[in-house]
Amino acid sequence: MRKKLKIYLPFVNAGMQETATYRTNWVFWQLGNILGCFISYFLWRAIFVSSENGSMNGFTMPQMIVYIFLMFLTTTLINSGGTYDIGEEIRDGSISMRLIKPISYNATFLFQELGNKIMTVCVLIIPLVAGVEFVRYRFTGEVQFHILMFLLYFLSAIFAYLINFFFNICFGFIAFVIKYLWGANMMKNCIVGFLSGQIIPLAFLPEMAKKVFLILPFASLNYTPVMIYMGMYTGTKMLMYIGLQMFWVLFFWGLSKLLWSVAIKHLSVQGG
C-alpha cells in the first residue's frame, strides 16, 4: 500500500503543477461557472417571486439560493475530465505512453486529477462555504453551520467524485470503439446535468420520475451531497443514500475494469 502510494503520489504532484501552469485558464473556467451560477440564481428568484406562497415543493427561496450555490460547489468538486482526456489520448495516440509504463492506467488518471482537485478545493471551498453560510444567516438570523454535517457532506462528495470518475472512464472507453466522441460527450453532460439535479432539484419532479431518478447513479453525484449539507437527508435516510453511493462507486469501478480489458484488445494506436 505504501509502495503503491509512493508510485502514484508523483501524479498528484504532476496534477497540481499542471493546474498551476494553466492557472489563468483555470480562473476563467471558474469565473464562467460562477456566472452561470448567478444566471440560475436570478432565474429562480424570478420564479419564486411570482409564486404565491413563497415556497415550492418544500423549498423556500433562501433554500433554493443555498441549493444553487451548493450545487455549483459540488459540481466543481466532483467534476472529472476522464472522458475527454481518454478520448483525446486515444485520438492522438499518446495513450501508448501510459501503456509502456508498469502502472495502472486508471490510477494514473485518478491521482493526476486528485492533484488538480486539491488546488481547486483549497482555492474555492472556503469562500463558497462562507458565502452559503452568509446567505443562510441572513435569511434565518442564526448560524446553521454544523461541522459534522459539513464532514458528512465532504465524505459524500468524495464518493460522488469516485462515481463520476469511474463513470467517465467507462464512457471514455467508448472512444476505443468510436475513436472520437466529442459529440457523445456533450450529450452525456446534458443528460447527467438534468438527472443529477443540477438544473432543477429532483424534488420538483413528478413523484414517479423522482422515485426512479433518485435510484439512478446520477442522483448519487451532486444531489445526495447537497441534500446532506442542507439537512434534507438525515438519519437512516442519509445512511441509505450514502450506502447507495458506495454501491455505485463499486459498480462503476468494476465496470471500468471490465471495459478496460475488452477495450485494450481493440485498441488501435494511431500515429507514428
Ligand X SMILES: Nc1ncnc2c1ncn2[C@@H]1O[C@H](COP(=O)(O)OP(=O)(O)OP(=O)(O)O)[C@@H](O)[C@H]1O
Number of residues lying near other proteins (CB under 8 A): 28
Query: From the list 54, 102, 183, 272, which residue makes contact with ligand X (rule: CB under 6 A)?
Result: 272
Closest CA to 79 of 189, 197, 242: 189
102 binds other proteins (CB under 8 A): yes
Q: Which stretch binds other proteins (CB under 8 A): 1-9, 72-80, 119-127, 194-202?
A: 1-9
Task: Output the nine-digit C-alpha cell for 225.
Answer: 451531497
Task: Quote the CA–CA distance of 261 and 243 in Å, as a whole number.
Answer: 28
121 binds other proteins (CB under 8 A): no
- Contact partners, residue 160, CB within 8 Å, separation at least 6: 74, 77, 78, 220, 221, 222, 224, 225, 245
Q: What is the longest distance spanned by two Cα atoms in the chain? A: 66
CB of 267 to ligand X, least distance (A): 9
Query: Which residue's CB is nearer to ligand X, number 140 or number 270?
Result: 270
Query: From the list 1, 2, 3, 207, which residue makes contact with other proteins (rule: CB under 8 A)?
Result: 3
Strand partners, 60: 55
Query: Which residue's CB is nearer to other proteins, number 34 or number 103?
Result: 103
- Contact partners, residue 125, CB within 8 Å, separation at least 6: 73, 77
101 binds other proteins (CB under 8 A): yes
Beta strands in 32-142 (DSSP E): 55-56, 59-60
54 binds other proteins (CB under 8 A): no
Binding string, 202-231, against ligand X, x = CB under 6 A? Answer: ------------------------------
- Give residue 14's identity as a one-letter amino acid code: A
270 binds ligand X (CB under 6 A): yes
CB of 81 to ligand X, least distance (A): 24
